[in-house]
Structure 1
Amino acid sequence: MSRQPLRLAILEAERVLSSAGVASPRTDVELLAAHLLGVERTKLMMVPLVDPAVVEALQELVRRRAARVPLQHLTGTATLGNVTLAVGPGVFVPRLETELLFEWGLASLEGVDNPVVVDLCTGSGALALALANARPDAAVHAVEKDATALSWARRNAEERVRSGDTPVRLYAGDVAEPTLLLELEGLVDLVVCNPPYVPDGTPVPPEVGEHDPGEAVFGGRDGLDVVRHVVGCAARLLRPDGYVAVEHDDTHGGSVPALLSARRVLTAVEEHTDLAGRPRFATARRTAPPRPRMVMHAPER
């Protein structure tokens, strides 16, 4: 059979995904085509004709995407910063919104040599590995409670080491444990966390409800069950002038900053919005201890 125009195959696939209610049909089709062809998305225009087998493979991937299988499960990867991560069933897929938290956290480390970083609820290891990639001098520690997610994080961490990146130390642990990372108490320059935060019962897209692990998405009746523990853990781990950044639901624009402000040792609390202008993550700084008062004694006569 003769080769076929890739452009026509992409147009037909876009129509299928649009009819299925996929939010970004053109982008998804192009990313799937680039994945199949092993080229960057921006280079697709340089591939005018493809074999019929490629068209058939693209149609199969589009059929699965139309059934709302996450794009990242079909390609097997997700990205954060300059890091590509393996993802799939059993682990939360990193979202674009977390890129903003990553950039803020990286900026908070400017001027800090050999920083100590902790990523709580690490999932696939996305934030920990992106920060380790951007700051090779950092000592990065990552904590995950779920065994399946931790196995994905370990796979990604081992791959980054093979690529020459700074190792990340992984821990099986729960942020609710009062002794978690006790050896790092008061020593951490940055704590980041993308915890489960969607309030129970909130409608979510099929890609989330049917494929992301529920324990990585939902955070209790108000969505703050895990966040409360994260705030307490961060307040304990941070060194004076260290920072914490916590991603949250867009309904938490007031509640998460309030949880941070309730800790007397945390100051400079700020709310940050995502690209759509919705509340998305909150940050705070650990206060430095007050300087001891100088007591002036009158000279002896």
Structure 2
Amino acid sequence: MAAAILLGLALFFGGLAEACTVDRSLPYDPTEYPAKIVIGGMVTGEGRSAGEPFADIQVSDVFVGTFTQPTFRLKWWIYDGSGRCSPPGPNLKKGQQVLIYLHDLDGEAMGWTAVHRIGTELPSIRDTLSEQEIAQYFADVPASRLDTKVTVSDLPLTGYRIIRPDADLNQLVSMDQDAALLRERRQAAYFSAGGALSYTDPDTWVTAEELRQLKQNKFDIFVSFEVGGDGRIGDCTSNHVKKAQADDLAVCKIIKERIRLVPPLFAEERSGRLELHR
């Protein structure tokens, strides 16, 4: 039952985040962007201010940058269906260990994640849900079920980061930052092809003359493709309806034979897309 409830929650938030850059059904990924400040600590209290939730953090560690205050008030907002993206992190409860990632001290947090060290007590389903979520979506669920402990495999669905019993948080944060900086350098050094990285401008992959020769339909070219470990383009498909795919598939053939991309390191680099206007 715990897994079923959590899976339903993940699917719910996954749907909300379709048009957003973050998805609350997954843990915040600190390797996506470098942070200027990373702090860690324990949630000592939580509540609402002006209708929006917050959590007070007793700061125990400063992993990156400078932070001199003993406490930090993390604020976030509630997705209300108006189009604003959900915040990049879980709701927090008293007693949770948490890592918080900041651009600076004045702006909103880039993201945060509750930390579960394997071997410590698991949270209950109730601990992983906000009061609003319980009232709106789980009001009819018996209290005994909400008080059931989740399993370790359930935790990622609720935004937890799972770490080994002997994991060194300083080392983990340092590795995260190294990966984020590497990702940033790669994105600056190469051309973007919808996630995949290219040595050359994707607008030049197909010549103007080749585009003129493609006259099966009037639409712009729009294809998606997978990138192999050696940078070669693998599966390439049209993003148009079947009757308008001929020109897209012709371009797929051209770029599969001609283009070698930057071998992928990160998940988003393993797939890409090409859009050509004509």
TM-score normalised per structure 1: 0.21
More helix by share: 1
More strand by share: 2
- Of structures 1 and 2, the one scoring higher in RCO (CA 8 A, sep 6+) is 2
TM-score normalised per structure 2: 0.22
